[in-house]
Amino acid sequence: MHINGVEIEDTFAEAFKMRAARLIITAVNERWALTAAQVATGFATSVIACGCEAGIEAVVPVDETPDGRPGISVLVFTMGSKGMEDQLMRRVGQCVMTCPTTACFNGLESEERLKIGGTLRYFGDGFQISKLLEGRRLWRIPVMEGEFLVEESFGIKKAIGGGNFLILGSSPEVTLEATERAVEAMEKVKGVVMPFPGGIVRSGSKTTSQYKFLRASTNTAYCPTIRRQTESALPEGVNSVLEVVIDGLDEGAVREATRVGILAACIPGIVRISAGNYGGTLGQYQIYLHEVLADV
């Protein structure tokens, strides 16, 4: 398969089960809502070392937020419920509550819920007040600026993480341009985030290492500077590779993000689009590139 002269390798991305939560962060204006969202999603590129994967999903219009103020939706992904509770407590408590004018609401309806605001309320030192807003149980926590409004519990649901594709280009410049175009297109898909910096991974990894103390190491088969020293997966003419990793609320969202991202990345100078997998041994989902692009 070729798209605009770019080879689409007949392979699949291997993704795995995760848990997801959605935070709706509001503030007096979009600037402060975005500031809180950016801080709350910091150091959240990979569960391998960060404890969670997170990113900004979308801007939420004022007529769609619980308090009628500018909002930002954030998606957080972990491997399990306990990890999610720990991450939400830390990130809402340390990154959202500390940010001027913010409030934080649950954005995901689910039977499984975590008591986040219901625990953060104790920061109010006995002066916290419970409030009902259109069926939502909220807590008003006094802070020096005024008060922090936070929902008592947040829903979490089964989700999918680790969707990915690789962009192999003739130069670092064209590869970055293509990947930026891919991420820009993917950001329009609801229910997904690309958790790495700017949505892009330069240091893709494999699940083995010659060092016993490491769980992962650089993906040597796709490193152009050592292609003559090790077994390489790079065709001639490829001098740079970037990866996009996708986490989503369901497989359909990840597949759609993969589709639009690949289409946007097929520009002159890109040689091949591939994907990372471990032969089906790591994840429960296999997203075949040719299937995703079947109707193109």
**Cβ atoms 107, 22 nearer than 8 A:** yes
d(CA 30, CA 26): 8
pTM of the model: 0.95
The Cα angle at residue 57 between residues 273 and 267, in degrees rounded to 5: 25
Q: Stretch 212-234: mean pLDDT, rounded?
A: 94
pLDDT, residue 51, reads 96
Closest to 14 (Cα-Cα) out of 286, 292, 288, 291: 286
pLDDT at residue 278 greater than cutoff 90: no
- The pLDDT of residue 76 is 98
CATH code for the part of the protein at 18-157: 3.30.70.520
Q: Quick check: do 2-14+160-292 and 18-157 share a fold? A: yes
Q: Which residues lie below 8 Å from residue 245, measured CB to CB, with a gap of 6+?
A: 162, 163, 164, 194, 195, 196, 201
Q: Return the CATH number of the domain spanning residue range 2-14+160-292.
A: 3.30.70.520
d(CA 194, CA 127): 39
Please state, as a whole number, how many other Cβ atoms lie within 10 Å of the Cβ of residue 169. 26
Q: Domain residues of the chain, as ranges?
A: 2-14+160-292, 18-157
Q: In which band, very low, low, confident or very high, does the pLDDT at 207 lie, cut at 50, 70 and 90?
A: confident
